Structure 1
Amino acid sequence: MTTLRNKKLVIIGGSSGIARRLAADAEAQGAQVISVGRPEVELADEATIAALAERVGVLDYLVTLAADPANGPVAALDRAAIHRAFDAKVIGPILLAKHFAPRFRPGGALLLFSGVAAWRPAPERVVMATANAAVATLAAALAVELAPLRVNAISPGIVDSGAWDGPGKAELFAAVAARNPARRVGAPADIASAALLALTNPFLTGTTLHVDGGGRWA
């Protein structure tokens, strides 16, 4: 495995519990972490992506966790919301690859985030399922085109990251834990450790790692 010491890691979408845990774990291993939120880069705007790449300069690892869900019944979906969802998950990452790929040091890696909805579709999650499925294909396609830059994806299951906070959280988590083969929901640390594996394993590319407690089968 490659060490993280003195490596530069850029995390896009750094406000989630997963992103914060990933940043903390990477820093603990000696990485220089740059966390970037929406005020600094808008994945629907190529100019801000290009400007960010200029500011960052050379780097070793890039992770994008950005998401902009467009959930709801198909009959009520808004076209603009669908576009925003794909900008965050698919189009934006393609543009990140366009502007950052020439800047990676040897041994570098790009990590995208998919999600269990791609393998376990549910009502009112059509856009989420489709965008997440596209991420898995995108990771494989970029790995082939951008080689030897490594590109992978993580597909988390239901994770207690803060995204589910609100009414009904306890009931949802209990139901997920009851049916998951792992018999629990995920924690940010579960996803962060898999992300660090994907970034540092020099023989892992073009792959989607399912860190979902077996939820895609349950």
Structure 2
Amino acid sequence: MTGTLKDKTVLVVGRGGGIARAVTMAAREAGAQVIAAGRSQEKLAEAYADEPGVSTEYVDLTDEASIVALGERVGSIDHIVSTASARARGKLADLNRDSVRLSFDTKVIGPLMLAKHLAPRINEGGSITIFSGVAANKIAVGTLAVAITNGAADVLARSLALELAPIRVNAVSPGVIDTGAWDALGDEGKAKYFQDLTTRNPARRIGAADDIAEAVLYAMTSTFVTGTTLRVDGGEPLI
């Protein structure tokens, strides 16, 4: 059985581009009123200035008081999606304690606090979707902190699904998605990495933000799905 997003209120935490934007627009196209929230409300307002049905709010997932204040401003809602992340990449010897802490604070503790303070505001039939990532299932040198953060997010989704029932809670675990997250490799480095992965992964392509948005919509509207991690990774852990 599936539900509908028509006339529902969906809170999407994240940036104004990439996966967060794809989720926001997909939810809006499905009939929802969307609240896009993040640390730079000004940038979000610019990103969605010409998009009816999308409003913007400020929230900092590393600041519990900010989360409480957001809840007071938005009132009742139907679905929460947290796409926010702060990656701490590198080998063990190069990892910085502060960056690892920020990774957990943004992707695990932040969504935990969102659930604590906003779950009481979720209407009947609502849900929470948080983000994990392929690194939790494909262990590789150089992604230690990313892997343990994503693994913790997977456990968080299952734990919240049990404690907050009947509010449904799921995680979405993207593989390599063509967003600005890979721009640091440079044009040549990014193209080479994408080409290599395309020739090896079972899907034979790189993921798109819309692939992830579709999974998030599934998590929000599939009323018998809770406590699971939806892996949208092109089969990358198999290689």
Instruction: Please classify the TM superposition score into its range, dividing by the shorter chain length.
Output: over 0.9
Q: Which amino acid aligns with 1:2?
A: G
How far is the alpha carbon of 1:181 from its aligned partner? 0.3
* Mapping of residues 17-32 of structure 1, within 5 Å: 17-32=18-33
- Structure 2 gaps, min length 5: 41-57
* Mapping of residues 134-145 of structure 1, within 5 Å: 134-145=152-163
- SS at the partner of 2:182? coil
Inter-partner Cα distance in structure 1 for 2:80 and 2:150 = 18
- SS at the partner of 1:164? helix
- SS at the partner of 2:67? helix
2:51 maps to none
2:95 maps to 77
Give CA deviations for 1:49-76 in whole Å, capped at 9, x if unaligned: 1111111110000000110111112112
Inter-partner Cα distance in structure 2 for 1:14 and 1:162 = 11
2:216 maps to 195
Which shifted more, 192-201 or 74-83? Answer: 74-83
Aligned residue among 48, 55, 62 for 1:44: 62
2:116 maps to 98
Give CA deviations for 1:128-165 in whole Å, capped at 9, x if unaligned: 00000111111000000000000000000000022112
TM-score (norm 2): 0.89
- SS at the partner of 1:108? strand
Give CA deviations for 1:65-105 in whole Å, capped at 9, x if unaligned: 11011111211211111110000111111100000110000
Are 1:108 and 2:126 matched, yes or no? Answer: yes
- SS at the partner of 2:119? helix
Which shifted more, 69-78 or 132-141? Answer: 69-78
Q: Is the 8 A contact 1:155 1:208 kept in 2?
A: yes
- After TM superposition, which residue ranges in structure 1, 4 or more long, deviate above 6 angstroms? none
Are 1:65 and 2:93 matched, yes or no? Answer: no
Give CA deviations for 1:20-57 in whole Å, capped at 9, x if unaligned: 11111111111000111123211111000111111111
Aligned residue among 139, 160, 170 for 2:191: 170
Inter-partner Cα distance in structure 1 for 2:17 and 2:202 = 25
- Structure 1 gaps, min length 5: none
- SS at the partner of 2:170? strand
Inter-partner Cα distance in structure 2 for 1:175 and 1:53 = 44
Aligned-pair identity (%): 51
Q: Which amino acid aligns with 1:84?
A: L
Equivalent residue pairs, number: 218
Aligned residue among 210, 213, 217 for 2:234: 213
Root-mean-square deviation (CA, aligned residues, Å) is: 0.9
Q: Is the 8 A contact 1:118 1:128 kept in 2?
A: yes
Q: Is the 8 A contact 1:16 1:163 kept in 2?
A: no
Inter-partner Cα distance in structure 1 for 2:17 and 2:86 = 12
Q: Which amino acid aligns with 2:197?
A: V
- SS at the partner of 2:181? coil
Q: Which amino acid aligns with 2:236?
A: G
